[in-house]
Structure 1
């Protein structure tokens, strides 16, 4: 049975029903909507193979979609639960094997048009990732899921298998730590300048 709905006009429940019925356009719709965010989450958390891992996540999604019940928010939690587990598997495997990176044409630094252009393009991402990497692992997981994946506190709790209160506490501590790192420092000279005005 074919469901005749244009993918751009489909509601989530229609897309979900079509995906569960095996409609390829519905899987494409779910991929287009969720894959970039999943890849960004995996990249931000240190995946070296985020494109491959994103594909693996969606293979599991396709495999398990028939059993899924819920709305758009529940589906997002479902997808990120799978992504988080796959990421943990990759990080564990990497820690056992050591930290080696396979050479590919895409990562060859000689292909960049110029070092200046590449540095400029990556400056903001690098600085943001460095700030997140400076957090404790639990705090970093919470912040990446909240910011990059745009999950609610309840969804993050579900993905990480923690209580909502624990996630809120981790988020609060992470924000405090980030504030300390990015807060402008005031020198005694700048304070005296302020008092003169």
Structure 2
């Protein structure tokens, strides 16, 4: 079935485990809540870091306080929980940026992320070869709508409809932003590879565009 099928099976297994853990945590199981935290925190922190930079740990901690407080109100499965926690983290990140308007150093995304409303496989595989820090560095150079769509799709792992709900946008607009952002990142990665090959005296192979894949 290939890498895409394998990723989908893995995601389904993860979501099933997460959904069961959330249900137990809502019943007061502290070990289950710890498991929920371990499953969610790495990707959630990566998303927040893409929004606020070096203050990500503090903002994520604020988000977890709200997640823990309102856990009993959540209704849904593991995939829905990822979207719910991403929405909370996004709100806390935007609040943080509003409080820091007077700071001279910008966050990783452009400052006009504050004006956002509250609430393809080849390219994704290319990004998966990068470390989180490398990926965030590349994503930070994208236009803000593309950057946040890619963060939610690639870093958090949300699907298109869930990403649209988090951003308060139409699914079609999110698909377009994600497509353009991933295509632009793939071009940057191809350029880096070409530069590396040229430096080594190797002629790089012709790259394929998104339209030529599937």
TM-score by length of 2: 0.64
Asked whether 1:128 is paired with 2:144, we answer no
Go from structure 1 to structure 2 and tell me whether the alpha carbon gap of 1:179 and 1:16 turns closer, same or farther (over 3 Å shift). closer
Q: 1:17 to 1:150 in 2, by over 3 A?
A: closer
Give the secondary structure class of the aligned counterpart of 1:69.
coil
Task: Give the match for residue 163 of structure 2.
Answer: 156
Query: 1:75 maps to what in 2?
Result: 81
Among 29, 34, 38, which residue is 1:32 paired with?
38
Alignment equivalent of 1:168, drawn from 162, 175, 200: 175
CA distance in 2, matches of 1:13, 1:143: 24
Task: Give, in whole Å, the separation in 2 of the partners of 1:181 and 1:144.
Answer: 16
- Aligned counterpart for 2:22 among listed residues 16, 21, 37: 16
* Structure 2 residues without counterparts, runs of 5 or longer: 1-15, 107-129, 207-214
Contact (CA 8 Å) 2:45, 2:57: kept in 1 or not?
yes
Cα RMSD (Å): 2.9
Structure with greater Cα Rg = 1
Structure-1 residue corresponding to 2:52:
46
Alpha-carbon distance in structure 2 between the residues aligned to 1:130 and 1:47: 10
Question: Following TM superposition, by how much is the alpha carbon of 1:162 offset from its aligned partner in structure 2, in angstroms?
Answer: 0.7
The 8 Å contact of residues 139 and 170 in structure 1, kept in 2 or not, is answered as yes
CA distance in 1 between partners of 2:132 and 2:139 (Å)? 11
Per the alignment, residue 64 of structure 2 pairs with 58
The offset of 1:159, in angstroms, is 0.8
Contact 2:22 2:32 in 1 (8 A): yes
Q: Distance in 2 between matches of 1:11 and 1:129?
A: 27
User: Offset at 1:13?
Assistant: 4.5
Query: Matched residues in 2 for 1:183 and 1:12: separation?
Result: 35
- Once residues 133 and 75 of structure 1 are traced to their aligned partners in structure 2, the CA distance between those partners, rounded to angstroms, is 26
Paired residue total: 159
Structure 1 39/136 Cα, relative in aligned 2: closer, same or farther at 3 Å? same
Separation in structure 1 between the aligned mates of residue 134 and residue 21 of structure 2, nearest angstrom: 38
- Contact residue 47 and residue 91 of structure 1 kept, 8 A: no
